Amino acid sequence: MHKPHVDRPASAPRIRRRDFIRLAGPFTLLLAAGPAFAFKLFDIIDPEQKNKDLRRTRQVLDGVTGMAQSIEGIDYQSEFTIGETLALEGFQRYGQPVKDQRLQRYVNLLGNAAARNSLRPDIPYYFVVVDSPLYNAFACPGGIIFLSSSLVKGMGDEAELACVLAHEVGHVAHKHALQSIQRAKFFEGAAKVGTVGMKGEQGQKYREMVGDLQTVLFDKGLDRNMEFEADRSGMDFAYRTGYDPAGLIRVLEMLARQQATATHKGSWFSTHPPLSERISRCKAAMADYPDAGEMATAKTRFLSYRDPS
């Protein structure tokens, strides 16, 4: 008789609370101590892996670090190529670059100024303002960053723009997009994009992976905690550069005012956590910037680019 598959029969022993606590403590502490040393410590304490608890802890730790390695294993050029192909899709989805080359250069100068003080200052960043009625911005892996013309029009000063660009730089620095699709089949074996080509089975996996990225960045949005992390990074990078970190709060408040009438599909409204929660968290973070009021807003310069005569 056919037996239906179940992951764990009801009669199988469950992980007891005592076991969980016994494993969770050492595991958490080892994670904080550093995995490489932890594995060496395991070898010293239990070289034959006879201890059940240590064996389990080693397995769990191995799984976590292996996940990190799968993304870390992607070289920069492959990461950038993934970003390029996603950018090609982005232009089709959100529109072409605005023709104002003066504005494009301005955004690139400001974005790269903030990126110099980011967690990942050693790669080039490219910023583009696209002609779109949606309030939107997103970052492709490797550092190609999109910003909609409507979002720029809604801003009031250079600090606001700096914070938004720095928020997107934060996504690139943290490799958020790649983390979101790290289980894609393309990454099995840590393939390099340049060596596999775009044809055949691997090409198909690559296109599927780019499709997954589009779903994440254009429709579903990144994990909410990634957005909160990027908000925090954006404020920090802008502040370190010399801008008022409250610029991000002003942008979020502007978006909140537009929320009732703006198009949501494919915009920051549908791909980001609720604005009220983001504003609340950013306001709490302002405690870390006691001299924020003395930082630059550069309103006059910003307006000369936003509204050229």
Looking at 24, 43, 49, 51, which residue binds other proteins (CB under 8 A)?
Answer: 51
| Cα–Cα distance measured from residue 173 to residue 230, given in angstroms and rounded to the nearest whole number | 9
Of 148-156, 196-204, 251-259, 282-290, the segment contacting other proteins by CB under 8 A is 196-204
Name residue, tokens 């801008």: 243
Per rule CB under 8 A, count of chain residues that contact other proteins = 79
Looking at 56, 185, 281, 301, which residue binds other proteins (CB under 8 A)?
Answer: 301
**3 state DSSP class of 243:** strand
> Of the two residues 214 and 259, which places its CB atom closer to other proteins in the complex?
214
In whole angstroms, how close is the CB of 65 to other proteins at the nearest point?
Answer: 7
Say whether residue 206 binds other proteins (CB under 8 A). yes
> Of the two residues 2 and 199, which places its CB atom closer to other proteins in the complex?
199
Say whether residue 97 binds other proteins (CB under 8 A). yes
Query: What are the Cα distances from residue 181, in Å, to 187, 198, 233, 242?
Result: 9, 19, 21, 34
* Site for other proteins, residues 207 to 266, rule: CB under 8 A: 207, 210, 239-243
| Cα–Cα distance measured from residue 29 to residue 195, given in angstroms and rounded to the nearest whole number | 39
Looking at 91, 183, 276, 304, which residue binds other proteins (CB under 8 A)?
Answer: 91
Looking at 49, 59, 96, 215, which residue binds other proteins (CB under 8 A)?
Answer: 96
Name residue, tokens 């920069």: 76
Looking at 163, 173, 184, 285, which residue binds other proteins (CB under 8 A)?
Answer: 173
- Go through 135-168 and write b for each residue having 16 or more CB atoms within 10 A of its CB, e for each that does not: bbbbbbbbbbbbbbbbbbebbbbbbbbbbbbbbb
> Of the two residues 92 and 309, which places its CB atom closer to other proteins in the complex?
92
C-alpha closest to that of 254 among 163, 187, 189, 176? 163
